[in-house]
Amino acid sequence: MSLLELIAAADERGLAASAVACLDRCLPRPAEGFDPDPVRPLWAGCADGSGWPDRLAEVRAALDAAADTDGAAPQIRKLLGEAPVDRAAPGLREWADACSLAALEIHQQFDTPGGDTTADDTDLLRRCRTGDPGGGGPLVTGELRRQIQILETLAETTGTVGGGAALRRVLDLSTEGRRVLRAVVSRQARGRA
């Protein structure tokens, strides 16, 4: 299945967890003195929908307090501000889709020299999400593969007792993706210095 098909078929837990994973991977390293993992509380809201509103408010407050204006932080704050407070809201699928696209766009910026994107790049991401990853750079291809793997993992455990283990696997995949992206960002920043 393509990424868009997986998003269309995902349940509430899958949509929430995949969206949180996308945002979590793309957060830049926080400034000294701030929570190194500000999105972590929201993972519990993915497992238990009743805790979603409180966890979402907690994460929004943590990111607002950091007021980081570098890299993808403003875009991620904006997306978290648009997240449905009710995890069962009809807008959850649209929000998860927007988070998926934003994560691919952020990865594409670091695949493209100078971070410049064009209309062709937007078309490329559209094609990648429909199942044609040809032409994508290594970061975009890796992110696409990671998003698909996350949604497949969550779909396989829908309604089963293995749901907690699946969320743990998703968190591990997301953490590894964050490490990869931060390493690339750091290496490119050293190259410009």
pLDDT in tens, the chain (193 residues): 999 999 999 999 999 999 999 999 998 887 777 777 888 889 988 888 889 999 999 999 888 887 666 778 889 999 999 999 988 878 999 999 999 999 999 999 988 765 555 556 778 999 999 998 888 899 999 999 999 999 999 998 776 655 688 899 999 999 999 999 999 988 888 877 6
- Answer for the pair 92, 15: CB distance below 8 angstroms, yes or no: yes
What is the 8-class DSSP label of residue 70? Answer: S
Nearest C-alpha neighbor of 168 from the set 47, 55, 62, 49: 47
Place of tokens 């929004």: 60
Could you give the C-alpha distances from 17 to 120, 141, 173, in angstroms and in order? 30, 20, 12
pTM of the model: 0.91
Range of the domain at 116: 3-192
Q: How many domains does the chain have?
A: 1
* Structure token digits, residue 107: 């990865």
